[in-house]
Amino acid sequence: MSELNEIISEQLSLFIMGFAVVIVLMAVMIIVQGARLRKMRRKYEAMMSGNGIEDLESLLVNLKNQGDMLEEAQQEQKVLIEAAHAKMRGMKSKVAIKRYNAFGERGNDLSFSLAILDDNHSGIVLSSLHNRENSYIYAKPLEKGESPYPLSPEEKEVIALALQQI
C-alpha cells in the first residue's frame, strides 16, 4: 500500500494538471454550447414574435390544417377542370366552309357546304345548292367522321378541312 501512496505522491502533480486541462476543456464546451443556445433562442423568438402564437406546436398544427384545406381545394379544382375538359371535347369547335358552283356553267359560287364537328369527329354537314330558280338545303349527321347518307366530294372536302383544325 505504501508503494501505491508513493506512486500517487510522485504523479499527483500530473493528475492535477490533467484534471485541470479536462475542466478547462469542459468550461470551453459549456461556453460554446451556451452561445449556440442563445443564438437558437433568438431565432425562435424572432420567428414566433408578432404572430400571436405562443408555441411551435400550435403553429405546426395550424400549418398542417391549412395545407389540408389547400389540398382539398386543389382536388375540387382538379375535378372542375376535368369536367370542363370533358365538356370541351363534346363541343362543336371544328368548323369549315367551302363555297362552290354546284351547277357548272349556269351559276356562280352561291352553293356551299358547312361542316361542324367536335373532337370525336361527330357533328353535322350542311349543304346548300343554289341556282336561279331554287335553293336546296341538306343536313347530314356525322358519327366518327362517317355519315349514313352518301357524301358529295365537296362535303368530304369540307369535313377534311374541319378535321385539320386544332
The secondary structure of 42-97, three-state, reads HHHHHHHCCCCCCCHHHHHHHHHHHHHHHHHHHHHHHHHHHHHHHHHHHCCCEEEE
Least confident of 31-40, 57-66, 74-83: 57-66
Confidence (pLDDT) at 58 = 78
For residue range 104-152, list pLDDT tens digits in order. 766 677 889 999 988 888 889 999 988 778 888 999 999 887 888 888 8
Confidence (pLDDT) at 50 = 65
Mean predicted confidence (pLDDT) in 156-161: 89
